[in-house]
A and B are shown apart, each in its own frame.
Chain A
Amino acid sequence: MSGEQTAAIESDIEAAIREDHPALITYITAGDPSLEDTKEYVEALDCGGSDLIELGLPFSEPIAEGPTIQAAINRALDAGTTPARFFELVDELETDAPLLVMTYYNMILQYGSEPDVRPFVERAADAGLSGIIVPDLPAEEADPLRDACDEHGLDLVFIVAPTTAGERLDRIMSQVSGFAYVQARLGTTGARADVSNATHDSLTRLSAYDVPKAVGFGVSEGDHAAEIIEAGADGVIVGSALVDLIAEHGTGDAPAADALESKARELKRGARRGGEQRNGHEQGREEAPEPEQP
């Protein structure tokens, strides 16, 4: 799926997107409000139908995040979340959905005793993580991390922005592994009330590339998920809307678990609905093959 060289072996992430297409990808910040809660919350998201789960490893300077995830990162750092404790959590997690870590480049670089990306990737692979997303690492700077990920069988997911075009878009799409993270709008992460026009433009622009595309930044409701999938995405990524639920429920004995599970169900239903609508359009236009979904 991801490119001729690696097409022979499908990664966990690619398989997860294909098997229960269209995919729901959920994000929460590890350690918000504690790592014990995160364990429950990841299980809730898994039960709710997440096909992939991204865990944020908190960094003190999250320049790509809006206020919601910034606040979650502060809560996680205040709770004493460190890379070592993050990996211990991942060691314990048993989910159907493959897990990815989303963090900033400096956290990856500093994990070993010298600035080097390899110890982090090695530990991530040991812990059973399937992929890495780095919001401050454009393709131009990614060679060392991509080499380390290739060596340990992890996918390195690249973000495609509304401003990404031309030669750079070609280059990024040729390097995609796992899926292309399509940024729905300019700006930072955060739940929004509608689906941006830029989403439709981006999906049109990307339709020629044969790689899985998942859309994130601003997706908060089942209806958004339906609209995005109908517009041609293979998956939706939802973060801030889930982090909002965690913030609303506060601290205690994983009080947001039920809310997270039912939000995930709503989003997954929306994604399926979008998939059916898209298949319907395709059937209308031509005698479409049998839909993939049960």
Chain B
Amino acid sequence: MSETESNPPAEDEPNRERTFGDYGGQYVPEALMPALQELEDAYQRYVLDNEDGFMDEFRERMRDFGGRPTPLQRADRLSKRYDREIYLKREDLVHGGAHKLNNALGQVLLAKYMGKERIIAETGAGQHGTATAMAATHLDMPCEIYMGRTDVNRQRPNVYRMRMNGAEVNPVDAGSGTLKEAINETMRDWATTVERTHYVIGSIVGPHPFPRLVRDFQSVISAEARDQIQEQAGRLPDSVVACAGGGSNTMGTFHEFVPDSSVDLYAVEAGGSSLEIDQDEGLAPNSATLSTGTDGVLHGAMTKLLQTTDGQIVESHSVSAGLDYAGVGPELSHLVDTGRVTPASVDDDAALNAFHRLSNLEGIIPALESSHALGFLEEAHEELGDLVVVNVSGRGDKDLETVLEETENRDLDAAPDVEVFDT
């Protein structure tokens, strides 16, 4: 490897700290507090101190089972289009087709080290559910996934994948039947079975220590990318771009760059169809929590939220199911408040165009989530400097049906003629 700068492994903040500035904490039912303490202890011993070689086993399994490291690829035609160097971090090549396995495998392995006997998880689009089901089967742990009824109906292939891998899928009928309700129900299961069950939360959300734990498993993305860009381009990038829903790929992509003050960090949220909230109906036609949210408590943490002035959580929206969440990780809220991370948003149309553009220009079909980061590149590349890293958090095969349908209903510049498929 060429001469590369590296950040000291230790952080300024103690890892046992329950908050990130004003955000984070442990706003959960009392019954779960002992389990969070147990998890905190396991996080310290196995993840931070590598007790019993936990992290060695995790890295080895991520290599052999997960396919890491993933490449950092120079995108030649995008670089030409934007007249600057664009590099793509290819998390779409992780086993399962997204960055989700980094966290799922880490937590299932941790549960095993902790002596837990059962895995539960929530899933929205099904990406975290499928990653958890894969990891649980790989490590021979029984696994149940909670998924909103609406999501079950619109993400059938992922339901089948989870069941193929031996997981039980429990549809959740409450509310709008999406991610928020699935998290509620998984927390209820956990509050009942906490003594022998581990809850594999799917993002950097939830009560401490989950936001740190998930970030640490995901930070392999930035650890690799930071070395790779220095090796391939000879220096640190001017900016790093990632999409943000709950924020696990975002913090994974940013974490090792946070101390590099010369590197600008952009978290691109789903702008949906509009950034306004309908207070009366309790609906947000977007998931732009970092850009438009207000401080409050949801799912165990103080963070930025989409909520009414009374404090009811609103239904969010995005064409990308994986970004469709009314909350966001507390660490991202903190980094936005301190100015270290710049929030941005890209609407449904721009994300769909970016999906088609990357497919057309680079031969990579990105997830609709990742397409938001790529849409931001189209809109704001002039502000991003000469050397840009964009995280392609997942592949878009899962989104083909949505994209075909949405493309027919919209006027998208970058879309090919999809009618060719109608015979």
Contacts and interface: CB of A to CB of B under 8 A. Distances in A.
A158 B297 CA distance: 18
B405 interface: no
Interface in B310-333: 310-313
Nearest to B34: A163
A61 interface: yes
Nearest to B280: A80
Interface in A166-184: 168, 172, 183
Contacts of A164: 30-31, 33-34
A106 B307 contact: yes
Given A138-B33, A168-B33, A187 B188 contact: yes
Interface residues of B, number: 39
B297 A188 contact: no
A161 B30 contact: yes
A182 to B, nearest CB: 11
A63 B29 contact: yes
Interface stretch (B72-80, B192-200, B211-219, B353-361): B192-200
Contact of A138 (B30, B192, B305): B30
A89 to B, nearest CB: 15
Interface stretch (B4-12, B20-28, B226-234, B259-267): B20-28
B27 A186 contact: no
A106 B194 CA distance: 24
Interface string B118-135: 000000000000000000
Interface stretch (A109-117, A207-215, A233-241, A275-283): A109-117
A159 B30 contact: yes
B31 A163 contact: yes
A110 B37 CA distance: 28
Interface centre among B28, B180, B311 (most CB of A within 10 A): B311
A107 B311 contact: yes
B25 A110 contact: no
B273 interface: no
Contact of A60 (B37, B191, B309, B313): B313
B386 interface: no
A29 B32 CA distance: 24
B136 interface: no
Chain A interface residue bracket vs B = 35 or more
Interface string A95-110: 0000000001111011
A141 interface: yes
A187 B192 contact: yes
B251 interface: no
B282 interface: yes
Given A105-B27, A183-B30, A110 B309 contact: yes
Contact of A63 (B25, B187, B309): B187
B337 to A, nearest CB: 13
A139 B34 CA distance: 12
Interface in A101-154: 104-107, 109-111, 115, 135-141
Contacts of A107: 310-311
A160 B27 contact: no
B298 interface: yes
A61 B313 contact: yes
B296 interface: yes
Interface in B254-311: 282, 294-300, 305, 307, 309-311
B342 interface: no
B137 to A, nearest CB: 27
A61 B31 contact: no
Nearest to A71: B174
A11 interface: no
Nearest to B296: A106
B310 A110 contact: yes
B70 interface: no
B387 interface: no
A109 to B, nearest CB: 6
A212 to B, nearest CB: 17
A165 interface: yes
Contacts of A162: 31
B44 interface: no
Contacts of B33: 138, 140, 161, 163-164, 168
A131 B233 CA distance: 62
A59 interface: yes
Contacts of B28: 63, 136, 138
Contacts of A188: 188, 191-192
Interface string A201-230: 000000000000000000000000000000
A136 B31 contact: no
Contact of B188 (A66, A109, A163): A66
A136 B297 contact: yes
B165 interface: no
- What are the 8 tightest A-B residue pairs by CB atom distance, in nearest-first order? A110-B311, A187-B192, A161-B31, A60-B312, A106-B297, A161-B30, A163-B34, A159-B30
Given A163-B194, A168-B34, 15 more contacts: A61-B184, A63-B187, A106-B297, A109-B296, A136-B29, A136-B297, A138-B33, A140-B33, A161-B31, A163-B33, A168-B37, A172-B30, A183-B31, A186-B31, A186-B194
Interface of A: 59-64, 66, 70, 77, 82-83, 104-107, 109-111, 115, 135-141, 158-165, 168, 172, 183, 186-188
Interface of B: 18, 25-35, 37, 174-175, 180, 184, 187-188, 191-195, 282, 294-300, 305, 307, 309-313
28 contacts: A60-B175, A60-B282, A61-B184, A64-B188, A64-B191, A106-B298, A106-B305, A107-B311, A109-B296, A109-B297, A109-B311, A110-B311, A136-B27, A136-B297, A137-B27, A138-B28, A138-B29, A140-B26, A141-B26, A141-B27, A159-B29, A159-B30, A163-B194, A186-B31, A186-B191, A186-B192, A186-B194, A186-B195
